[in-house]
A and B are shown apart, each in its own frame.
Chain A
């Protein structure tokens, strides 16, 4: 669906994307995670041909991203981070205007979404709240039932009930065959509910791309309780974080292996307890200080 090869992008000398490689197969729901300013929106915009990359290439449904054909665009839906619409039009007029461009627009489906998400059809777009505007953006992106849906922080401004309604709709969409979704979000719990694969962008590079379960298998937190005082120099190879306090230590590792537990038990004469982390905790651990986290994706 989407193929990105060695994609680079810089703005006025500031390098934002540094050789990104990413492939999204049909039927995938990929969550794109990253800190603020790491390049998620830039990556999405380069992939959709809204920004021209300074290096590398991107293709969408077989077309070069910068020269997407009309047919490809008809199969694609995009919800930007900031929805900009026509403030003088009423909501129903904006929907009608967008529908006029798509021969396969599903009017009854859109009506149902507007009813479900309580969009005020007679209100003008200008005074809509940020959340309502974002809801409108989502409706406009879903109306033609795209095969590829790209969402850039779609729920950032939605209230909890609106967010749940949106996720429910998204799950219904995903259930349909050959639907592919790429979405970036900071709300990791949503990603855990919906996404099958995760890509983590850090400092302009993909540092992880694979199954969500695989990521959870790799990143673990270890509690080490030794019988003797642990030295200040205590460390674990490949640790993301290491905190020592007397005879105890807490270590987060990015590439967990059962042998590590045995090794530590033997070396430090300690009890080692392994804790699973949720996606939010994994994200925080990966972005602590100088922690290094390399790419190894599972197929």
Chain B
């Protein structure tokens, strides 16, 4: 992850250096120079950092907290402060805009990761996408003076969020709601104990009461009066997650549609607006595969329970047939909802966006 992120940052800086004032420069800076490194690199690093503190040793080991915080602060400062300054230098513009974009996006991202609340991701996405569209990216990367006040406000707000996150991390304890937000860690390096602890954290997070958790009761209470045969395909729709099968598939489909829109935007910007733009085809081609990939990721989360599920009264063949059958159904629902979502946005975008997205 880190090498890819560094490659993107350096590539964007290189592009900016040799194409100062070019049409594509703000897009490259916003997307590959600052936006994507935050999405990929900061997200990964912040999740690993979270793991360092969602752990009893953080509170029990002497001299643990502040050296870790210092390392985290140093690495994230490189991403959130040094990198945008570099991009600004290469573009030959005032550093205020790129710095504001970076700190605001980074701060919102850290906040969203820490609490894992879907609604918090919305302002983050707005800021993120604003760095990619021609009109909005000028706010951050044109170097114009009329946005300076906004830039300064963005810098202060982003820096405050960054600082807040570091302090919350240093004081993290088990009664914090954020403690249960799953830290991702690096699977290959986790010890068996860390995987067990992570599994328990996941369990406690998944079981916190609230509207969403209680709504899953309606779905699971059906099991009490389940009357179909033991090998019924319907039984395999349970055990994937707390929400109903259909809800999960549709949510995934809509999420993929949003991701597809982002890819379409990227592709649209990479090609001349006057030539035939296969952007929508590209979006659809990539998005088409994502429900299936999502299903495989879904399968991976079920692996830990397979040892007990394999011993239920079904042959190995029947078990996997049921499992993959429900995954195929999930993929189909996700694909359908993704297609509907993409179609709606593409049709709307055709009428409102400059340089028709579908032309």
Report the stretch among B44-52, B53-61, B110-118, B233-241 that lies at the interface: B233-241
With a cutoff of 8 Å between Cβ atoms, the chain B residues found around residue A140 in the complex are: 308
Q: B202 within 8 Å of A by Cβ?
A: yes
CA distance A69 to B311 in the complex (A): 10
Given the known A-B contacts A90-B220, A125-B203, are A100 and B315 also in contact in the complex, defined by CB atoms under 8 Å?
no
Q: A103 within 8 Å of B by Cβ?
A: yes
Main secondary structure, interface of B, reads: helix
Enumerate A66-86 residues with CB–CB distance to B below 8 Å. Answer: 66-71, 73-74, 76, 78, 80, 82-86
| Cβ A97 vs Cβ B239 within 8 A | yes
Q: A238 within 8 Å of B by Cβ?
A: no
Q: B318 within 8 Å of A by Cβ?
A: yes
| Cβ A103 vs Cβ B242 within 8 A | no
Closest to A130 in B: B200
| Cβ B313 vs Cβ A127 within 8 A | no
With a cutoff of 8 Å between Cβ atoms, the chain A residues found around residue B318 in the complex are: 70
CA distance A100 to B238 in the complex (A): 11
Q: B206 within 8 Å of A by Cβ?
A: yes
Q: B213 within 8 Å of A by Cβ?
A: yes
Q: A50 within 8 Å of B by Cβ?
A: yes
Per-residue CB proximity of B23-67 to A under 8 Å, as 1/0? 000000000000000000000000000000000000000000000
Closest to B235 in A: A100
Per-residue CB proximity of B211-232 to A under 8 Å, as 1/0? 0010011001101101010110
Q: A119 within 8 Å of B by Cβ?
A: no
| Cβ A124 vs Cβ B207 within 8 A | yes
| Cβ B313 vs Cβ A97 within 8 A | no
Closest to B317 in A: A67
Interface residue tally for chain B (C-beta within 8 Å): 37
| Cβ A48 vs Cβ B311 within 8 A | yes
| Cβ B199 vs Cβ A101 within 8 A | no
Given A71, A73, A93, A101, which contacts B224 in the complex, CB threshold below 8 Å? A93
Given A82, A88, A96, which contacts B226 in the complex, CB threshold below 8 Å? A96
Q: A274 within 8 Å of B by Cβ?
A: no
CA distance A83 to B305 in the complex (A): 9
How many inter-chain contacts with C-beta < 8 Å in the A-B complex? 104
Closest to B180 in A: A126
Closest to B314 in A: A70
| Cβ A88 vs Cβ B204 within 8 A | no
Q: B329 within 8 Å of A by Cβ?
A: no
Q: What is the size category of the interface that chain A forms with chain B? A: 35 or more
CA distance A87 to B304 in the complex (A): 12
| Cβ A93 vs Cβ B213 within 8 A | no
Given the known A-B contacts A73-B314, A93-B224, A97-B239, are A84 and B230 also in contact in the complex, defined by CB atoms under 8 Å?
no
CA distance A98 to B230 in the complex (A): 10
With a cutoff of 8 Å between Cβ atoms, the chain A residues found around residue B308 in the complex are: 78, 80, 83-85, 137, 140
CA distance A87 to B196 in the complex (A): 13
Closest to B205 in A: A126
| Cβ B312 vs Cβ A86 within 8 A | no
Given B221, B235, B310, which contacts A49 in the complex, CB threshold below 8 Å? B310
Q: A109 within 8 Å of B by Cβ?
A: no
- Shortest distance from the beta carbon of B271 to any chain A beta carbon, whole Å: 44
Tell which of B203, B230, B315 has the most Cβ of chain A within 10 Å.
Answer: B203
Q: A89 within 8 Å of B by Cβ?
A: yes
CA distance A76 to B241 in the complex (A): 27
| Cβ A126 vs Cβ B207 within 8 A | yes
Closest to B227 in A: A100
| Cβ A97 vs Cβ B223 within 8 A | yes
CA distance A127 to B241 in the complex (A): 16
Given the known A-B contacts A80-B308, A93-B224, are A102 and B207 also in contact in the complex, defined by CB atoms under 8 Å?
no
Given B200, B230, B241, B316, which contacts A88 in the complex, CB threshold below 8 Å? B241
- Shortest distance from the beta carbon of A148 to any chain B beta carbon, whole Å: 11
Given the known A-B contacts A69-B315, A88-B213, are A93 and B235 also in contact in the complex, defined by CB atoms under 8 Å?
no
Enumerate B73-124 residues with CB–CB distance to A below 8 Å. Answer: none
| Sample (16) of A-B pairs whose CB atoms are under 8 Å apart | A49-B310, A50-B310, A66-B316, A68-B316, A70-B314, A80-B308, A83-B308, A87-B202, A88-B216, A89-B242, A93-B221, A96-B226, A97-B220, A124-B207, A126-B200, A127-B207
A positions within 8 Å CB-CB of B: 45, 48-50, 66-71, 73-74, 76, 78, 80, 82-90, 92-93, 96-98, 100-103, 124-127, 137, 140
Q: 10 extra interchain contacts, Cβ-Cβ under 8 A, other than A80-B308, A93-B224?
A: A49-B316, A70-B314, A73-B311, A73-B312, A76-B311, A85-B308, A88-B241, A97-B220, A100-B235, A125-B207
B positions within 8 Å CB-CB of A: 196, 199-200, 202-207, 213, 216-217, 220-221, 223-224, 226, 228, 230-231, 235, 238-239, 241-242, 304-305, 307-308, 310-316, 318
